[in-house]
């Protein structure tokens, strides 16, 4: 397959692994891959078993589904249960447990919940069902926020009155900052997110080397991308450099995608604070609709309960998201919490560290 096979070439992978082993030498390194997409790639291709033992990959908070707190899921369920409402969302939100079950369970109870591939599909549902109110449950980092912005602009153009967005878009930099400030930080560097960076660019990560002395390499999602990023991080450390490098130059530009950023600026503004699952409240870490789009804002149109729900006691998603523990170190991993019966969000999405580890990585064949 063109444009894919090139990035999965076994010979090139062996060469990179050899280079990594040589660069790493006898020292130990822990690199955090911020993005859930990388976590998925690492497990799906068995990369963690290819790396020398001295190089550890730590999974970060960049799975957009995993960071949604339970209270917000409950709000979405509440919305879905309102008379005349159709709730739409991306597929991987459907099984995320809130305090009152998941959206799939709400549907089993009779709520009209549908999954869509894009927010524009949700708009289509609204056009096809003029007598219903269609809410799009928007989640994701800067990767998916521009498409929500486009959808809202389109909805305004069409003068739709039966469409709104329950906005849960979050931004990538604040959680990264939170992790860097954590006292038990034991990371040697970061593999920067690829898709998010296509929008925000590689520039916003500069504070990581400048203020915290950790190198960043923005990377693509194919296995060779991840291996190359690890090699680049090690090379920086070996050579005494500490900077933001871009391994994903075929897609990511330093300044990002100004058009997408402009669209987002027209539609969204920063929330003063937002709760992250496991990470707690983080200031200016999420987006909401501006006053111009108030009539498309589900939070303003509906009197949502907005109740904060504490994570289940046994669940250690927060520690997993911060990279403080490995998925298997969680007390309920694989027993009470499995992909079939998830307690925590990390076990839901295939990008979640626990689900990826459970599904692909449980066992090394040597």
Q: Please say whether the beta carbons of 111 and 98 come within 8 A.
A: no
Residue from 31, 32, 33, 37 touching another protein (CB under 8 A): that is: 37
Residues 69-88 contacting another protein, CB under 8 A: 83, 86
Q: Please say whether the beta carbons of 278 and 290 come within 8 A.
A: no
Q: Please say whether the beta carbons of 233 and 191 come within 8 A.
A: yes
Count of residues touching another protein (by CB under 8 A)? 71
Task: Reduce the DSSP state of residue 129 to 3 states and report it.
Answer: coil
Residue from 6, 14, 249, 258 touching another protein (CB under 8 A): that is: 14
CA–CA separation, 162 and 178 (whole Å): 38
Judged by CB, which is closer to another protein: 250, or 362? 362
134: closest CA among 86, 167, 90, 94? 86
Cβ contacts of 46 within 8 Å, gap of 6 or more: 360, 361
CB of 24 to another protein, least distance (A): 16
Contact region with another protein (CB under 8 A), list: 20-28, 135-143, 177-185, 314-322: 135-143
Task: Tell me: does residue 268 bind another protein (CB under 8 A).
Answer: no
Judged by CB, which is closer to another protein: 50, or 309? 50
Contact region with another protein (CB under 8 A), list: 36-44, 158-166, 237-245, 270-278: 36-44
Residues 182-201 contacting another protein, CB under 8 A: 195-196
Judged by CB, which is closer to another protein: 99, or 339? 339
CB of 337 to another protein, least distance (A): 10
CA atoms within 13 A on the CB side of 265: 8
CB of 363 to another protein, least distance (A): 6
Q: Residue 291 carries which DSSP code?
A: G
Residue from 225, 245, 275, 351 touching another protein (CB under 8 A): that is: 351
Contact region with another protein (CB under 8 A), list: 18-26, 106-114, 155-163, 247-255: 106-114
Residues 212-241 contacting another protein, CB under 8 A: 223
Site string for another protein, 143-182 (x = CB under 8 A): xx--------------------------------------
CB of 45 to another protein, least distance (A): 5
* Number of other CB atoms surrounding residue 203 within 10 Å: 12
Q: Residue 360 carries which DSSP code?
A: I
Task: Tell me: does residue 139 bind another protein (CB under 8 A).
Answer: yes
> ∠196-202-203 over CA atoms, to 5°?
125
Task: Tell me: does residue 105 bind another protein (CB under 8 A).
Answer: yes
160: closest CA among 180, 190, 135, 179? 135
Task: Tell me: does residue 363 bind another protein (CB under 8 A).
Answer: yes
Contact region with another protein (CB under 8 A), list: 150-158, 210-218, 267-275, 327-335: 327-335
DSSP code string of 28-91: -EEEEEEEHHHHHHHHHTTGGGTS-TTEEEEEEEE-TTTTS-HHHHHHHHHHHTSTTEEEEE-G
Task: Tell me: does residue 54 bind another protein (CB under 8 A).
Answer: no
Start-to-end C-alpha separation, the chain: 29
């Amino acid at each position: 397959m063109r444009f894919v096979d090139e990035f999965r070439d076994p010979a090139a992978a062996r060469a990179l692994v050899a280079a990594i082993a040589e660069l790493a030498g006898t020292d130990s390194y822990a690199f955090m891959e911020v993005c859930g997409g990388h976590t998925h790639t690492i497990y799906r291709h068995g990369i963690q078993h290819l790396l020398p033992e001295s190089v550890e990959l730590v999974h970060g908070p960049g799975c957009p589904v995993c960071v949604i707190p339970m209270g917000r899921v409950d709000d979405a369920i509440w919305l879905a249960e309102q008379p005349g409402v159709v709730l739409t969302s991306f597929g991987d939100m459907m099984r995320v447990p809130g305090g009152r079950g998941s959206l799939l369970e709400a549907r089993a109870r009779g709520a009209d919940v549908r999954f869509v591939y894009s927010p524009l599909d949700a708009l289509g549902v609204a056009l096809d069902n003029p007598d219903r109110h269609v809410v799009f449950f928007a989640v994701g980092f800067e990767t998916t926020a521009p498409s929500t912005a486009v959808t809202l602009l389109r909805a305004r153009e069409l003068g739709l009155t039966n469409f709104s967005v329950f906005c849960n878009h979050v931004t990538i930099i604040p959680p990264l900052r939170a992790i860097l400030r954590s006292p038990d930080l034991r990371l040697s560097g970061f593999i920067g997110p690829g898709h998010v960076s296509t929008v925000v660019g590689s520039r916003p990560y500069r504070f990581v080397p400048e203020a915290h002395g950790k190198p960043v390499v923005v990377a693509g999602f194919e296995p060779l991308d991840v291996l190359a990023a690890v090699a680049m991080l090690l090379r920086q450390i070996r050579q005494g450099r500490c900077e933001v490098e871009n391994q994903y130059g075929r897609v990511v530009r330093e300044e990002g995608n100004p058009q997408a950023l402009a669209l987002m600026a027209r539609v969204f503004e920063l929330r003063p604070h937002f709760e992250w699952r496991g990470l707690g409240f983080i200031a200016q870490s999420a987006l909401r609709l501006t006053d111009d789009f108030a009539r498309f804002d589900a939070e303003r149109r509906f009197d949502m309960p907005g109740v904060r729900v504490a994570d289940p006691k046994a669940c250690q998603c927060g520690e997993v998201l911060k990279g403080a523990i490995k998925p298997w170190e969680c007390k309920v991993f694989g027993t009470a919490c499995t992909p079939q019966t998830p307690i925590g969000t990390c076990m839901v999405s295939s990008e979640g560290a626990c689900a990826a580890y459970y599904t692909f990585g449980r066992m090394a064949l040597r």
